[in-house]
Amino acid sequence: MLTIVADNNISLVNEYFSNLGNVIAKPGREITSNDVKNADVLLVRSITKVDKTLLNNTNIKFVGSVTSGIDHIDVDYLKAHDIQFASTKGFNAVSVVEYVLSSIASFASNNKVDLSNCTVGIIGVGNIGCRLHYALYKLGINTVLTDPAKPIYNCALPTLNYIELPELLQKADIISLHCPLTTTGNHPTYHLLNRNNFAMIKSSGCLINSSRGAVVDNTALAQYLAMGNDLNLAFDVWEHEPNINLNLLNKCQIATPHIAGYSYDAKLLGTQVIYSKLATYLEKPHNNIALDNFWEQFTPTKLTNQQKILDIFNGVSDCYNVTEDTKKLKNIFKNNTLNNKQQFDNLRHQYNSRHQFNLMKIIDN
Catalytic site residues?
Answer: 212, 241, 258
Question: How many CB atoms are closer than 10 A to CB 106?
Answer: 22
> Is residue 151 reached through a cis peptide bond, with omega within 30 degrees of 0 on the bond before it?
no
Instruction: Specify whether the CB–CB gap between 261 and 95 falls below 8 A.
Output: yes
DSSP string, 127-141: HHHHHHHHHHHHTT-
Buried/exposed code over 344-364 (b: 16+ C-beta within 10 A; e: otherwise): bbebbeebebbbbbbbbebbe
Instruction: Specify whether the CB–CB gap between 82 and 104 falls below 8 A.
Output: no
**Helix residue ranges per DSSP H, the chain:** 13-17, 33-36, 52-55, 75-80, 93-111, 127-138, 165-171, 218-226, 246-251, 264-282, 292-295, 309-319, 322-332, 341-349, 359-364
> In whole angstroms, what is the distance from residue 248 CA to residue 114 CA?
27
- Can you name the residues that pair with 62 across neighbouring β-strands? 41, 84
> In whole angstroms, what is the distance from residue 317 CA to residue 357 CA?
11
